Structure 1
């Protein structure tokens, strides 16, 4: 098989692979293939696949991250590291206090960009399922959707819905472990936090405020810390 152009470029120009070198490929739907490089030219790389391996590295805990968008570099960081930490779905949202505002065209381009970051993060950490990265929505639209629809492309129930809040009284450690077939949703606000109205809307659909400690975390840190804490308590760490 001929590798896609961007992957061929990475294999040839970045990894400096040569004819006969072995490598592992995945298609994002689980499992992976071992193979070897059969031919290389200036821009293409042909691979001969040898065996399929039913290896899985997904966490037993399904985590949905609902993240208010922030400036480009920070959002890229959130996407990359949340994938490495094992998040299952990423829903970017805009809130009333969001600094970043994207037109429909720019939002589409950013989603494509974030999807490539997610794929690259999977390549780096060895995941062979690419997390679902959903289209950007306003937080009000997303709240309305939750009232009528179940989360897309997932068979699990929502055991916990947590909204990170510096004023919350309870911590994750105070909640019992969710069942393995359940999942959790983590809601992370923008740089200026959610408005009172947005918090009330979150509470109305079942979100519970939690805090991660005595210090206030930035939006680019909060979700990652929450994912790591949830994985430590209930997931695969």
Structure 2
């Protein structure tokens, strides 16, 4: 029944269908071969057959209403029927500088940040951070984190996948910041979000599990960052960006 209704209006109904990220050029009427990951998800997880509708997005803002044209063990293709621009991006462009944490905590921070509309993420090496990545390990982690961001876009309805940049030192990241609003979370301050003017872009610095060191705080303040608190309770490094981004989007964005 859904397939019949879709012929009338893809855009109105696309929220009811699976959304998959496929980095490709879309054109109405074209047939597109799905990469291995999306193809496996469609055929083995969702168990969709030929003619079934779904939505693809290219990670740069464009979405496509498609139908499965061929479903096979080694080859799965779709036919593109309609294109439109995604419209779920926040008016506040937040660049998150997130100190790298252990285990799946970094995955959680990236996932929730993307769901909350972050525009870009840079993993950071800070003085008290005890995670250091080099060579192939860093490349694999970066690819994994970018995949986490893409998956979060599939779930949240975003059509633009925010970049996860290669990890860098805190001082290098701070030196690059040009956003009119620059904030860092630091427990020992009384500053709150409501005291800030409304910006169109922001940089948000989150420290590691042990918190930002005095040296980290000093160079951040020298780079124009305002220390802010999220209240009297100490939050985990993966919880802090969720709360901070929620407040930023509430005060200056679209929540």
Give me the TM-score of the superposition, normalised by structure 2. Answer: 0.85
The corresponding residue for 2:193 is: 172
Instruction: Specify which of 217, 236, 246 is matched with residue 199 of structure 1.
Output: 217
2:80 is the counterpart of 1:62:
no
For 1:130, what is the secondary structure of its paired residue? Answer: coil
For 1:35, what is the secondary structure of its paired residue? Answer: strand
Once residues 29 and 41 of structure 1 are traced to their aligned partners in structure 2, the CA distance between those partners, rounded to angstroms, is: 28
Contact 1:63 1:88 survives alignment (8 Å): yes
Instruction: Specify which of 212, 229, 234 is matched with residue 211 of structure 1.
Output: 229
Question: For residues 114-135 of structure 1, what are the alpha-carbon distances to aligned partners after superposition, in whole Å with 9 as ceiling and x for unaligned?
Answer: 0111111111111100001100
Gaps of 5+ in 2: 1-31
Matches within 5 A, 1:21-100: 21-100=52-131
For 2:218, what is the secondary structure of its paired residue? Answer: helix
Q: Stretches of 4+ moved more than 2 A in 1?
A: 140-143
Once residues 80 and 13 of structure 1 are traced to their aligned partners in structure 2, the CA distance between those partners, rounded to angstroms, is: 24
2:26 is the counterpart of 1:5:
no
Contact 2:125 2:170 survives alignment (8 Å): yes
Gaps of 5+ in 1: 152-156
Matches within 5 A, 1:119-198: 119-143=150-174, 145-146=175-176, 158-178=179-199, 182-198=200-216
Once residues 230 and 48 of structure 2 are traced to their aligned partners in structure 1, the CA distance between those partners, rounded to angstroms, is: 44
Contact 2:153 2:159 survives alignment (8 Å): yes
Once residues 62 and 134 of structure 2 are traced to their aligned partners in structure 1, the CA distance between those partners, rounded to angstroms, is: 37
User: What is the root-mean-square deviation in Å for CA atoms of aligned residues?
Assistant: 1.2
Deviation at 1:104, TM superposition (A): 2.7
Deviation at 1:194, TM superposition (A): 1.4
For 1:60, what is the secondary structure of its paired residue? Answer: coil
Deviation at 1:109, TM superposition (A): 0.8
Once residues 66 and 50 of structure 1 are traced to their aligned partners in structure 2, the CA distance between those partners, rounded to angstroms, is: 39
Give me the TM-score of the superposition, normalised by structure 1. Answer: 0.91
Deviation at 1:169, TM superposition (A): 1.4
Once residues 206 and 75 of structure 1 are traced to their aligned partners in structure 2, the CA distance between those partners, rounded to angstroms, is: 26
The corresponding residue for 1:225 is: 243
